Amino acid sequence: MSTYKHTIQYYETDKMGITHHSNYIRFMEEARIHFLKEAGWPYDKLEEEGVISPVVGVTCDYKKTTTFPDELEITVAVLEVSPVKFKLSYTMTVDEKIVCTATSTHCLLSKEGRPISIPKQYPGFYEMLTQAKVQ
């Protein structure tokens, strides 16, 4: 998968000129949507099939600050896959220096809110996650 790129915008910084910490969660979502699209499972396709994928956990470890107009590069990897959830990792860099590492954990739910067995109901999606998993 290719690296997702995000240019830090001025409005994403705080009074000190540093990217506000809450924006990194948004950057993760942008990168996750990009990852799914490149993997052949765009999020809008999942939603059209009546599937939602809520975040059930998130971690974010800030290593260095970023500022406007840094170009943030985000690499997404699959860390864990089970029949009911999956965990992604995010490595965020500026000029090849790690500025943040993070994870997000997701499950799949029907639009009625019922858990979905990924390998049973979406075997192609499960296979993609399993093949993309970091060894």
Residues acting as catalytic residues = 14
Q: How confident is the model at residue 135 (pLDDT cuts 50, 70, 90)?
A: confident
**Domain residue extents for the chain:** 4-132
Q: What is the mean pLDDT of residues 22-34?
A: 97
At residue 134, does pLDDT exceed 90? no
Percent of the chain with pLDDT over 70: 99
Which CATH class name applies to 4-132?
A: alpha beta
Q: What is the mean pLDDT of residues 46-74?
A: 96
Q: What is the mean pLDDT of residues 2-15?
A: 96
d(CA 20, CA 3): 22
- Tell me if residue 42 falls in helix, strand or coil: coil
d(CA 91, CA 89): 7
Q: What is the mean pLDDT of residues 119-134?
A: 94
pTM for the complete prediction?
0.94
At residue 24, does pLDDT exceed 70? yes
pLDDT of residue 1: 66
Q: DSSP secondary structure string, 113-131?
A: S-B--HHHH-HHHHHHHHH
Q: What is the mean pLDDT of residues 13-32?
A: 97
